Structure 1
Amino acid sequence: MRDKKVQFIVEAAAIAAIYVVLTVVFSAISFGEVQLRFSEALTILPYFTPAAIPGLFVGCLIGNLFGGAIPLDIIFGSLATLIGACGTYALRKQNKFLAPVSPIVANTIVVPLVLFYGYGVNIPIPLQMLTVGLGEVLSCGVLGMILLFALEKYRGVIFKRHAA
């Protein structure tokens, strides 16, 4: 029992750390009206392990904090990632191609509102939804699915089975 808890914490912490590193290293393109967050490719990880849910949330929170985001962005951007991760986990048994849908939708809706109301970006919200959504499709839909197919071969080796 204790080993499973430790494994869960280790997986969550590793995922959070990778998310932070990817967000900060690529901060020039991770923030703004047109953004491509390579770290968002990790939002497919709840397909493999529930430990990814807190890992992605904490990683996004810390990444936004280190990236110089405003409090509104730190809170709601991280919540969007949390919602997306929960959706990926909920859809994991349906079809692997649904894994990136929840993160794409959550961030396409939330991030433009944060940009408009928090940062005062004077671009119509629907246009921001388009640009943020395209970035999410690239990061979650394309890069995330590449990651999913690569990790699927090593499912039992990388991520230990957790009680669902």
Structure 2
Amino acid sequence: MKNKNVTFLTQAAMIAAIYVVLTYVFAPFSFGEVQVRISEALTILPLFTPAAIPGLFVGCLVGNILGGALLPDILFGSLATLIGAIFTYQLRGKSPFLAPLPPIAANTIVVPFVLRYGYSVALPIPFMMLTVGIGEALSCGVLGLVLYFALRKYKNIFFRPTAV
């Protein structure tokens, strides 16, 4: 039991750290009305391990803080990633092509409201939903699925079963 908890915490911490690094390194593309957050490709990881759920949430939270985001973005943007991760986890065992849909939907709905009311971006919310949605489709859908197919061969090496 103890070993499973250590494995879970280690996996979550590593996923959070990778998310933060990718967000920070690609900061020019990670924030704003038009964003392709490369770190969102990691939202495919709940298909491999439940540890990805807290890992993605903490990674997004820290990434937003280090990226200079405002409090509404830190809170609601991170919650959108958490919601996406939880629903992606629920889709394990189904087609991997469905897995990117929860984080795409959560961020497409939440982030434009954060941009409008947190950052006072004057663009219409439906337009920002389109731009954020396209960015999420690229990062979660395209890059996330590339990551999935690269990792699925090695899932028993990198993602040993962990406690929920």
The verdict on a shared fold, with TM-score over 0.5 as the criterion, is: yes
TM-score, structure 2 length as denominator?
0.98
- Separation in structure 1 between the aligned mates of residue 121 and residue 87 of structure 2, nearest angstrom: 28
Q: Secondary structure at the match of 1:160?
A: coil
- Separation in structure 2 between the aligned mates of residue 91 and residue 35 of structure 1, nearest angstrom: 25
- Separation in structure 2 between the aligned mates of residue 102 and residue 87 of structure 1, nearest angstrom: 6
Aligned partner of 2:22 in structure 1 is 22
Contact 1:80 1:107 (8 Å CA) reproduced = yes
Matches within 5 A, 1:48-59: 48-59=48-59
Deviations 1:67-108 (A, max 9, x none): 000000000000000000001000112221111000000000
Q: Secondary structure at the match of 1:154?
A: helix
| Identity score, percent | 68
- Separation in structure 2 between the aligned mates of residue 134 and residue 97 of structure 1, nearest angstrom: 16
Aligned partner of 2:47 in structure 1 is 47
Aligned partner of 1:67 in structure 2 is 67
Structure 1 alignment gaps of length 5 or more: none
**How many Å apart are 1:45 and its aligned residue?**
0.2
Aligned partner of 2:7 in structure 1 is 7
**How many Å apart are 1:162 and its aligned residue?**
2.7
Cα RMSD, aligned residues only: 0.8
In the alignment, residue 41 of structure 1 is paired with which amino acid?
A
- Separation in structure 1 between the aligned mates of residue 153 and residue 70 of structure 2, nearest angstrom: 39
**How many Å apart are 1:163 and its aligned residue?**
4.9
Q: Secondary structure at the match of 1:69?
A: coil
Return structure 1 stretches of 4+ with deviation > 4 angstroms: none
- Separation in structure 2 between the aligned mates of residue 51 and residue 162 of structure 1, nearest angstrom: 7
Structure 2 alignment gaps of length 5 or more: none
Contact 2:40 2:144 (8 Å CA) reproduced = yes
Contact 1:22 1:38 (8 Å CA) reproduced = yes
In the alignment, residue 36 of structure 1 is paired with which amino acid?
V
Matches within 5 A, 1:71-110: 71-110=71-110
In the alignment, residue 82 of structure 2 is paired with which amino acid?
L
